[in-house]
Amino acid sequence: MTQPQYQYINPAVLLDAAGQDTQVFVELTRTFLEIAPPMFERLAKAIEAGNLRVITLESHSLKGTVALIGAHLVASLLEQIESLSRHAELDRIRSMKAELNTLYTATDADVRDCLAYFTAQLERDATGRAR
């Protein structure tokens, strides 16, 4: 089965970090799906509240987290937001919120699709070994 193509992530980045171990990749991807949504929510709330300190912290943390899954588009946008927060450019940050929501949602969907693909691959491999 051919691996699907993803628009918002590059699974090879995390697969390389996992030493090409599919089981480790799946575990790390599940961890991403546990930690990234609360990080994104904290960032969104900080943007709404105009809390530049939290925007800086959360955009930086989330940027590193999404970079591990090869989500370069959202990582780049988070880098811009982090930089703008350091210069107190709240209006510009708020103008980017819709784009951030769209990119993050699309990235999350790609990650979930990717997890389903690699989980199915592990199950096929396990079934093949059991025969």
Phi, psi of 3 (to 5 degrees): -65, 135
Integer Cα distance of 18 and 16 in angstroms: 5
Structure tokens at 29: 């991807």
Element (H, E) at 103: helix 97-130
Residue with tokens 């171990």: 21
Residues 17-37: tens digit of each pLDDT: 999 999 999 999 999 999 999
Integer Cα distance of 115 and 121 in angstroms: 10
What residues in the chain have per-residue pLDDT under 50?
Answer: none
Position 82 scores a pLDDT of 99
Integer Cα distance of 106 and 82 in angstroms: 20
CA atoms within 13 A on the CB side of 116: 8
Q: Which domains does the chain have, with CATH numbers?
A: 11-126 (1.20.120)
Position 128 scores a pLDDT of 73
Position 20 scores a pLDDT of 96
Distances (CA, A) of 111 to 47, 53, 66, 75: 24, 28, 10, 14
Position 1 scores a pLDDT of 62
